Structure 1
């Protein structure tokens, strides 16, 4: 009789019992911080666990805590100090006595604490919705709005602005401020991809912490004093690294905006579709923003197993080619799709075994590569994919600039090394043993198969999106679809299979 295998149960998660607005909840004692290290759970996280939103500007779960916006102020009550007997004070009903934290100089006034940086203590009571807490939020918000311009109608952040949302939810109807507003620089060219409006900045320092701690580029800082504080670069040097556009994503107001998307489209008109970045083998999770079959922006979609909430600028801006005017839209070599498929099928049936090659681009989906491999097996064709290598970095950008090299290898289109069979294919064409070539999504003339060799083929079938030297030599040219115009899956460099959805119709 086979011995039963015992599965080890995961260790129990230690919890803390606290009260949030009178409701007792159990929350984990430790929570991962921005680096993934387990640290004590905070008041703000406990409120989120209880389903209560605490407004905040400077706090971001993937950045170091700064605690400078003060929007997350709440009142808390703490168990009393143990008496001489070592036991905490108790109420008459036997429950733990909770004393509200008060200001030391005015014992009747409750003291607020910032939820993002205050650790939980067993028995703590959090008053997230008390009148005193709401009054503190109103005061903080009024302070932030003192010098803020009232230009929501022309602000590019409208519809996604936390200052706008919190003003409605937590702000006052009228301001007590009667002085002139402090004016700061507007439309500052901070770098090649980022614009700064210093008047809209609430000095949350998210951008500063991101560039220093995540992008490893200590480029941004605060200059001047008091109400004249502004974000700037050292000696006005251009803000230029491969992750600058993430600062526009995490900016809670309209201070930092993307030059690429600035004034292009109101966000409430955009249709959002889950997708993947095709700029390299990382396959960052993304959201495509489109309207009326036009793509307006790429944004990162949070996935801690792949890219977190970030993506590189080169990948984010790698979509303009989808709308190029020279897109291939018509079948060439036949009067239409039906005729082309019929004629190509007939010619493939006459191909001798071993006299054909298929080059399936590693920018195609797993599903497309599987079908190409199935065709290759039937016709005994040699297959490969074109390699694309470049520079990577310490964060997300991968040296493999194909989005699906791993998929091509696993499915069997390419060998262990992409492109290792291209020289054999070129030699086969030259000596006449390979007479038919199918190319999907690659310009093979840049990878050892010259135009002169393509002229020697009896049949060249090409499917691509943009014109190139290979498409110009095709006997049959079939227009392809960009990743935004289809759905499927990619396999990233770590072997993770991820799906993406169709956002646009192909032209």
Structure 2
């Protein structure tokens, strides 16, 4: 074993390769271009060896039991003692000197036999199945299937279109009994509701009596189902997988910052699925986080620029906003839902106007997994950019007192409903509001100037999650006609306030400027250089702040305070 990188040498199909010591064989051989087909195995779940699709030949160097010396063959080579029968790759961890055959005639015969058994009772639903195009059964049937069936008896009939819960539908004829969904509910979601009933080819997946699959992680069972047995009600029969464009994004539901993928076609988002990041969310995300895309076509979506009740052009709206902000006693209300780049732009406006900035926290109960107590994705970004210097409370009472005294008469409010964060209609009476937001609310209806904002799916930017991990998200679809990115509007507004001509800018220019700020923890980056799995920042002075999060999948507050940003153990 190499002590430096914790690797061992194994012989893989005749070639010596370096693999991670103790790694699961399926995972170990993948970087070397070898695929061991599998259905029941999942890297984040326990090993059960149900499907037998991952059979390989395995042997170890033979040693003399008396002396411990290697036994040599007639050619002077170390003799390999092969197992008398193939072994399952998912249940095998690599060891020094191990010999593995993944492409032998015996292995192919085994896989052909397993595929034939799996397809005996499987319906020919591919033309109407949601999983078509990304189905493991299709892929491996092409590689290892016979191309014809020797089964002439009638196939078993099982329940179809069974609602296991409010979001998941089961077609049991397609189920290959891999048990991934059962293990997920037991081991990750901690909601043991699924199980098999009956025996043999009559085995059926079902919920336990009196229970249903309704936890906030139920759609992960659809993601990990290797066939089309479990489908999402929202995505069912909506779109073929091969038509979808996939764009990396970050879930904005809470400060966990789950990595996700937006699947869209022709400007329409059809689904959100988790993207693997072993340091943040493994391969999971919440059901509630997936539904955030519905905000795009919400009936209360703000789609135009307004001054009063009149729809105006971008330039007219910015001019009106400039007139209000440039000659008043102004305060800014920022948001933990803004990106790092937007918060920095707000900071520049605040500095120019010498205006105080307020930010309300949005807090709730955490579930110990992927829904944290901080219900905003980028409160840490507000600290890192200097938009705020103290950890916020869940209201704006201090701003309310200043409004009541008449010290402030104009507000630039971004993505917040002021009446939901502690202010009252009496305090806001006579206050002139410039509002930048996505949905109509009480604040937008009171505002003198309204600027439409884009959703996370319609713009690019970055968030800093509860670990102080900087992660970027990319624009998946265009915003409503005539709208512009929030960061562009804020920089245009700043140029108008300064009475300077607006100049083109890029995200990298914003990052260069952020890095020049004294004491900034955002030095040394450009937007393009941020990797898709994020980069961990040094929290520095922010480590001791009174954060509301306690323990999540890869975060433990006590460890964070000691200097360890992540917890490798799942919260219980």
TM over 0.5: yes
Q: CA deviation at 1:14?
A: 4.1
1:21 pairs with 2:30:
no
Partner of 1:432: 406
Secondary structure, counterpart of 1:163 in structure 2: helix
Q: CA deviation at 1:229?
A: 0.6
Gaps of 5+ in 2: 481-572
Report the CA distance shift for 1:411/1:44 in structure 2 as closer, same or farther (over 3 A). closer
Partner of 1:393: 367
Report the CA distance shift for 1:43/1:495 in structure 2 as closer, same or farther (over 3 A). closer
In 2, distance between residues paired with 1:190 and 1:421?
A: 40
Partner of 1:227: 201
1:87 corresponds, among 69, 73, 76, to: 69
Map 1:352-363; keep pairs closer than 5 Å: 355-363=329-337
Q: CA contact under 8 A between 2:361 and 2:395: conserved in structure 1?
A: no
1:499 pairs with 2:472:
yes
Map 1:220-299; keep pairs closer than 5 Å: 220-235=194-209, 237-299=211-273
Partner of 2:549: none
1:338 pairs with 2:315:
yes
Q: CA deviation at 1:121?
A: 4.2
Q: CA contact under 8 A between 1:361 and 1:386: conserved in structure 2?
A: yes
In 1, distance between residues paired with 2:109 and 2:320?
A: 76
In 2, distance between residues paired with 1:431 and 1:119?
A: 70
Q: CA deviation at 1:13?
A: 3.5
Q: Calculate the TM-score normalised by the size of structure 1.
A: 0.90
Choose 198-207 or 320-329, whichever is displaced more. 320-329
1:160 pairs with 2:134:
yes
Partner of 1:36: none
Q: CA deviation at 1:411?
A: 2.7
Choose 160-169 or 426-435, whichever is displaced more. 426-435
Map 1:29-68; keep pairs closer than 5 Å: 29-30=21-22, 41-68=23-50
Secondary structure, counterpart of 2:357 in structure 1: strand
Q: CA contact under 8 A between 1:367 and 1:488: conserved in structure 2?
A: yes
Partner of 2:488: none
In 2, distance between residues paired with 1:229 and 1:493?
A: 43
In 2, distance between residues paired with 1:230 and 1:421?
A: 51
Q: CA deviation at 1:83?
A: 6.1
In 1, distance between residues paired with 2:356 and 2:232?
A: 46
RMSD: 1.8
Q: CA deviation at 1:472?
A: 0.7
Choose 191-200 or 419-428, whichever is displaced more. 419-428
Partner of 2:484: none
| Larger Rg belongs to | 1
Q: Calculate the TM-score normalised by the size of structure 2.
A: 0.80
2:380 corresponds, among 401, 406, 412, to: 406
Q: CA contact under 8 A between 1:83 and 1:89: conserved in structure 2?
A: no
Aligned residues: 476
Q: CA deviation at 1:432?
A: 1.7
Partner of 1:34: none
Q: CA deviation at 1:85?
A: 4.8
In 1, distance between residues paired with 2:79 and 2:281?
A: 46
Q: CA contact under 8 A between 1:384 and 1:420: conserved in structure 2?
A: no
1:239-297 CA-partner distances (Å, limit 9, x unpaired): 11111110100000001111111111111111111101111111111101111111111
